[in-house]
Amino acid sequence: MTTTYAVLSEGLEKSFKEVRALRGLDLAVAEGTVCGLLGPNGAGKTTAVRLLTTLLRPDAGSARVAGHDLVREPDAVRRAIGVTGQYASVDGDLTGRENLRLFAKLRRLPKAAARADELLDRFELADAADRPVSTYSGGMRRRLDLAASLITRPAVLFLDEPTTGLDPHSRNQIWETVRALKAEGTTVLLTTQYLEEADQLADDIVLVDRGRVAHSGTPAELKALIGSYAEAVVADADAMAGAAAVLDQLTGSRPDFDVERHSVGAVTTDPTLTLPRLVRELDAAGVPLLDVNLRPPTLDDVFLRLTDGSTRAGARDLTDSKELVT
Amino acid sequence: MSALAYDGTAMLGRQLRRIRHNMGLLILTQTMPITMLLFFGYVFGSALAMPGEEYRAFLVPGLLVATAANGIMTGMFQAAQDSHRGVMDRFRTLPISRAAVPLGQAVGDLVVTAVGTVPVLLVGLAVGWRMEGSALEAAGAVGLLLLFRFATTWIGILLGLASQSEEAAGQLGGATFLLPLLSNAYIPTDNLPGWLRTIAEWNPISAVTTALRDLFGNAPVPTEGAWPVTHPVAGSLAWCAVLIAVFMPLAVRRYTNGGR
């Protein structure tokens, strides 16, 4: 069986004045899968989504979405897609119900009002349906936005950072919706800054860095590539050398030290190195342990390892902003 | 074309709902011309050589046209508001007629203007203005007024879509109140210095104001001056045709390509 691609792009390029946002982006998203576009701020994720949803015209390269050429058949693409942007793309001056009815009408649904009510129920917005959207919370707006993207069942759904800044309840709801859509056969392309989100939802992750694909693969493949971080916190500074020797032998990578915390750590890609084995080996070597961790790779690890050094600053910014949000 | 009519009607519905949800703003913009009529009518009316009642009769058509010219400001503000909000992105990702969004805005604005003209006319009647011509001429005057409003709205939509921010649009839009000051809307242009008089007479507001005074039977058409003022109805129609022909396609194109 040959794979059919819901999104297929080759060499997409887009510049804004001096900034080269995309420098030849190649994407291949198989039909019915969820693809997570992961990358630091400014990597080109949003530009990619805006190009693929006909909001921007590429400077070079080509793409097909749901089988239609992006540049030559934009209206055919528009009929096949749903888009939920980073900032809620609903009308703040109208009520939730009015918004959905308007979008249903514009999609030529014969029972626009009924479809609107159905979606309001599904996204727990029935109580707020007749309030202006400007009075909604961030989570409610995002849910309405997603509902608006699902007026007709899209073949391809684009979600640009769908859960940035959302509370856990709204976030879970959006995750559930994405899973349900996938089960119905919808292809989903989502951008995110959260590795966990990509991990939870995506069949494939595409790591975007400075307008290009830096790496791609399943979440497990990427994690294996990055490796986990094994860390031992020991009783005193003198014991650090012993811990380092054990970690060096187990992981085959050079340990690093945090003298203040009496901590020694090293990266491992060995799937047989489990936490119990780590504890046993360290204990057997007589290291006076206070704490042992085997941490799966974090977002920082991903960016620092798989993107080149010049994005380090970007990755740092990202961590900061994430802390502000949570 | 039928797609445009359908989508445009849906967008008109959106526009009217938006306006309904912003009742405060609507009332403010609708009472402004009445406030100005009373203020100008009695303050200027007492200071000018023209008797007060006569000045107020002179002022009513001018104020109607000056208010219609505010279409630039309203159009600009609403288009700027839209273009800097995500909802425009959603419209652009829908398979709908490209002109539907701005057309809905322009027609919605026209509905509001038509309704808002009635109280101004009633207050005008109360302060001494009269319709001295035939009913047909009066209807022609109102039609011309609305056509002019439609034309100015497209200027506003283009400027609003091109503006950098809502605030910038608000400030630039505020400056449009100067336009009627450089016309015969509030004062006769006869005593202006030659070059200023020429500019004022070529101001579209002057042509439309003169046409309204003619059709309402408030003042005779001047026999000398610039062509649009000595032939006010033809001049007004020509001005509106030019403005619409230039600004409507530009605004639609700007909307279609917005951000691309």
CA-based nearest residue to A225, from A195, A270, A266: A270
**pLDDT tens digits for range B101-123:** 999 999 999 999 999 999 999 99
Q: What is the mean pLDDT of residues A57-68?
A: 94
Q: Give chain A's count of helices (H) and strands (E).
A: 12, 14
Distance between CA A52 and CA A6 in Å, rounded?
11
Facing residue for B93 by CB, picked from A54, A90, A102: A54
For the residues A235-257, what does the mean pLDDT come to?
Answer: 90
* CB-closest option in A55, A88, A91 to B93: A55
ipTM of the modeled complex: 0.83
Residue A296 is predicted with a pLDDT of 79
Question: In residues, how long is chain A?
Answer: 326
CA separation for the pair A159, A182 (Å, rounded): 13
Q: How many CB pairs under 8 A join A and B?
A: 72
In angstroms, rounded to a whole number, what is the distance separating the alpha carbons of residues A283 and A277?
Answer: 10
Mutate to test the interface with B, among A50, A51, A52, A55 (most CBs of B within 10 A): A55
Residue A272 burial (CB < 10 Å; 0-12/13-18/19+)?
exposed
Helix (H) or strand (E) holding A177: helix A168-183
Instruction: Give the closest of B85, B93, B259 to A92, CB-based.
Output: B85
pLDDT > 90: what percent of chain A? 57
Backbone angles phi, psi at A25, to 5 degrees: -95, 125
- CB contacts of A145 in chain B (<8 Å) are 86
Cβ distance A23 to A210 under 8 Å? yes
Distance from CA of A304 to the nearest CA of B (A): 33
Full DSSP string of B75-132: HHHHHHHHHTSTHHHHHHTSSS-TTHHHHHHHHHHHHHHHHHHHHHHHHHHHTT----
Mean pLDDT of A86-93: 81
For residue A320, pLDDT beyond 60: no
Summarize the confidence of residues B19-46 as an average pLDDT.
86
Asked if pLDDT for residue B64 goes beyond 70, the answer is yes
Separation CA B34–CA B257 (nearest Å): 39
Alpha helices in chain B (DSSP H): 2-21, 23-47, 52-69, 71-83, 87-92, 100-126, 135-162, 166-174, 194-202, 204-215, 227-230, 232-257
Q: Is the pLDDT of residue A322 over 80?
A: no
pLDDT value at residue A319 = 36
CA distance A321 to A42: 13
Inter-CA distances, A110 with A114, A150, A153, B150, Å: 9, 16, 15, 32
Taking contacts as CB-CB distances below 8 angstroms, the residues of chain B near A105 are 10, 13
Residue A324: per-residue pLDDT: 36
CA-based nearest distance B18→chain A, Å: 5
Q: What is the DSSP letter of B231?
A: S
For residue A135, give the DSSP letter. Answer: G
Banded pLDDT at B260 (limits 50, 70, 90): low
Looking at residue A304, what is its pLDDT? Answer: 67
Contact A24, A38 (CB under 8 A): no
Query: Per-residue DSSP letters for A194-245?
Result: -HHHHHHH-SEEEEEETTEEEEEE-HHHHHHHH-EEEEEEESSGGGHHHHHH
pLDDT confidence band for B174 (50 / 70 / 90): confident
Name the phi and psi angles at A92, rounded to 5.
-65, -25
Return the pLDDT at B224. Answer: 86
Model confidence at A310: pLDDT above 80: no
pLDDT of residue B28: 85
* pLDDT of amino acid A271: 81
In terms of DSSP bridges, do strands A187-192 and A34-38 run parallel, antiparallel, or are they unpaired? Answer: parallel
- Closest CA relative to residue A281, chosen from A271, A290, A292: A292
For the purposes of burial, counting CB atoms within 10 Å of the CB of B39, is it exposed (0-12), middle (13-18) or buried (19 or more)?
A: exposed
Name the amino acid, one letter, at A259. Answer: V
Average pLDDT over residues A187-195: 89
- With contacts defined as CB-CB under 8 Å, which chain B residues touch A53? 93
Average pLDDT over residues A43-70: 93
State the smallest CA–CA distance between residue A211 and chain B in angstroms. 17
Mention every residue, 6+ apart, whose C-beta is less than 8 A from residue B82.
B88, B101, B105, B160
Residue A226 scores a pLDDT above 90 = no
A138 at the B interface (CB within 8 A)? no
Q: Which of residues 77-116 of A touch B (CB under 8 A)?
A: 78-79, 81, 83, 85, 87-95, 98, 102-103, 105-108
**CB distance B17–A94 less than 8 Å?**
yes
> Residue B135's pLDDT is what?
93
Higher pLDDT, A298 or A148: A148
Mean per-residue pLDDT for B138-148? 96
Confidence category of residue A316, pLDDT binned at 50, 70, 90:
very low
What the block records as the tokens of A318 is 């990202």
